Structure 1
Amino acid sequence: MLVYIVEDDYSIQKLVEYALHSKGYEVLGFENGRDFFGKLEEQIPDIIVLDIMLPDMDGISILKKIKESAKTDSIPVMMLTAKDTEYDVVNSLDLGADDYMKKPFSVLEFLSRVNALLRRNTKGKAELLEFEGITLDALERTVTVDDEKVELTFKEFELLKYMMSNIDIVLSREKLLNFVWGYSYEGETRTVDMHIKLLREKLGEKRKLIHTVRGMGYKLSARGTYEQENI
């Protein structure tokens, strides 16, 4: 799960990032609306944590812009506010915010509310990921290639699932390592290369969909020329 945090208070941003990382979330932090919207054009997160008071654009204006776009209006948004006025809370909720927390707040309560928003947002969504003949069932934890079942290890399954959730996006070895093996994992990125090699072997002809982007990482894509690498 990918979380965007828009918060200009460095200490709060890092506290929230650490808490989310500890629970296995991928997190990107932004100190202003400009950087946030720039990244939002590239990749859609699963949830947004948004401060009301920001240097270049206030959180209410950002929230309004998020909810006015068909591309982003379904993303759950949690507002963070140091303000105590009822108006700010009501205004945020009226504009489409899903929840809010007043600073200072309990980290445990924050994590609980984030989990609740994500469960609510994913309820009823398809648990199947499909791409170019590969089908991954997140509930049954099965993978088929052209209707033939493929046996994957836990890490191989998580690696494929993450890549199928980010089609045509270059994923660095560090990002794959952090997401699949855990934020505190102290191994080397060589581990990623070895698992990519094993995953390719099990995907057969579909191995050509996993592209090596030299100097950067890997991406799952139907576009481009596959280049076999020696790992």
Structure 2
Amino acid sequence: MRILVVEDDVRIADVIRRTLGENGYAVNVALTAPAGVEAFEIDTYDLVLLDLMLPGLPGGGMEVCRRIREMNSDTPVLMLTALDSMRSKVQGLDAGADDYLVKPFHLVELLARVRALLRRSPRAQPPTLVAQGVTLIPSTQTALRAGRSIDLTPKEFAVLEYLMRNAGTIISASELIDHAWDTNYEGFSNVVQTYIRYLRQKLSLPGEADVIQTRRGAGYLIAADE
């Protein structure tokens, strides 16, 4: 899942980015209202975390939210602000926000609201994913194969989740990077190959074929169940 964080406080933006990243989300950060609009125009996001008081555009976060709604009415928007007045909340919701979180907030509450908005999104997938004997429950970060619990890191889970959400479709390495890592990723080029190897080791069962298939020169595939 890819999340856009539009927040002008660098410290807060970094804390949110690291917290979401540690929980398996791919996160991009924009520090101004124009940068937030541009980022949304360029990439596809599953959720936007949007500060209300942003520099660069009259109306700040309200204007960013309105422009996001003009471009895409489905993407959930969680508005973050230090303003706790009823008027500010109503204005934010009227501008198109789906939820409202007042600063300072606990990170566990932020994560809970993120999960709730992603579940309610019109683009949300079924709460449980099943393919090739693997069961994945994104809301609890649970992975099972043949009744056996699989211990996955957040990044391993993100890679496996994207493959299972697209079961039956060949997914290229670059597409996996787009959805499991943020746009500023500058790590080694074979990172996807490395994580696929980790997943195969953890998902393998004696005498059975690998759950994740390689299509040489094209990408990776988890076959859909019939």
TM bin, normalised by shorter chain, reads 0.5 to 0.7
2:131 to 120, 142, 158: 142
1:41 CA displacement: 2.5
CA contact (8 A) 1:4 1:30 kept: yes
Percentage of pairs with the same residue: 31
Q: Secondary structure at the match of 2:121?
A: helix
Q: Secondary structure at the match of 2:27?
A: strand
Match of 2:18 in 1: 18
| Cα 1:210–1:157 shift into 2, 3 Å | farther
1:115 CA displacement: 1.4
| Cα 1:63–1:210 shift into 2, 3 Å | same
Using structure 2 for the length normalisation, give the TM-score. Answer: 0.62
| Cα 1:37–1:168 shift into 2, 3 Å | farther
Distance between the aligned counterparts of 1:23 and 1:196, measured in 2?
A: 17
CA contact (8 A) 1:6 1:33 kept: yes
1:207 to 195, 211, 215: 215
Match of 1:130 in 2: none
Q: Secondary structure at the match of 1:41?
A: helix
Using structure 1 for the length normalisation, give the TM-score. Answer: 0.61
Match of 1:92 in 2: 92
Distance between the aligned counterparts of 1:23 and 1:203, measured in 2?
A: 23
| Cα 1:31–1:108 shift into 2, 3 Å | same
Distance between the aligned counterparts of 1:19 and 1:157, measured in 2?
A: 16
| Cα 1:27–1:169 shift into 2, 3 Å | same
**How many equivalent residue pairs?**
184
Match of 2:61 in 1: 59
Match of 2:187 in 1: none
CA contact (8 A) 2:162 2:179 kept: no
Unaligned runs of 5+ in 2: 133-144, 183-189, 202-209, 222-226
Unaligned runs of 5+ in 1: 128-137, 144-150, 180-187, 212-218, 221-231
The superposition leaves residues 26-75 of structure 1 with CA deviations (integer Å, 9 ceiling, x where unpaired) of 11111013322323233221110000111112000011111123xx2111
The superposition leaves residues 108-129 of structure 1 with CA deviations (integer Å, 9 ceiling, x where unpaired) of 2121111111122268x554xx
The superposition leaves residues 102-147 of structure 1 with CA deviations (integer Å, 9 ceiling, x where unpaired) of 1111212121111111122268x554xxxxxxxxxx845215xxxx
Match of 1:104 in 2: 104
Q: Secondary structure at the match of 1:56?
A: coil
Match of 1:42 in 2: 42
CA contact (8 A) 1:173 1:192 kept: no
Q: What code does the residue aligned with 1:49 have?
A: L
Residue range with higher mean Cα deviation, 91-100 or 36-45: 36-45
Q: Which has the higher contact order (CA 8 A, sep 6+)?
A: 2
RMSD value, Cα: 4.1
| Cα 1:98–1:30 shift into 2, 3 Å | same
Distance between the aligned counterparts of 2:178 and 2:97, measured in 1?
A: 32
CA contact (8 A) 2:24 2:157 kept: no
CA contact (8 A) 2:24 2:158 kept: no
1:203 CA displacement: 7.6
Distance between the aligned counterparts of 1:160 and 1:114, measured in 2?
A: 20
CA contact (8 A) 1:4 1:47 kept: yes
CA contact (8 A) 2:52 2:81 kept: yes
Taking the TM superposition and a 5 Å limit, the aligned residue runs for 1:1-231 are 1-57=1-57, 58-69=60-71, 72-121=72-121, 125=124, 127=126, 139-142=128-131, 159=159, 162=162, 170-171=174-175, 189=191, 191-192=194-195, 194=197, 207=215, 210=218
1:8 CA displacement: 0.5
